[in-house]
């Protein structure tokens, strides 16, 4: 009788573990697609913000650079 009880417990634990593993594998593989798309969207937003910051910085630097002096126009030689 005790042997049947332990056999039933062991069978229940094994079947429960198999069911749990199957459920976890299905949930993990199903959940990764939307999560990856959201991460890609966040990375794209960050990249465009960085590009804007760099372009603004370069524009400000180019405004501060001294302009080369403009040579006066030459008069025609006689």
Q: What is the pTM of this model?
A: 0.47
CA distance 6 to 41: 53
pLDDT tens-place values along the chain, 78 residues long:
888 888 899 999 999 999 998 888 887 777 777 888 999 999 999 999 999 999 999 998 888 877 777 777 777 766
CA distance 34 to 75: 71
Core vs surface per residue 10-23: b (16+ CB within 10 A) or e: eeeeeeeeeeeeee
């Amino acid at each position: 009788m005790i042997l049947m009880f332990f056999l039933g417990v062991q069978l229940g634990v094994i079947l429960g573990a198999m069911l749990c593993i199957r459920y976890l594998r299905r949930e993990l593989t199903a959940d990764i697609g939307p999560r990856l798309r959201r991460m890609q969207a966040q990375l794209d937003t960050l990249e465009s913000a960085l590009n804007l910051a760099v372009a603004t910085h370069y524009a400000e630097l180019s405004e501060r650079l001294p302009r080369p002096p403009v040579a006066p126009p030459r008069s025609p030689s006689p």
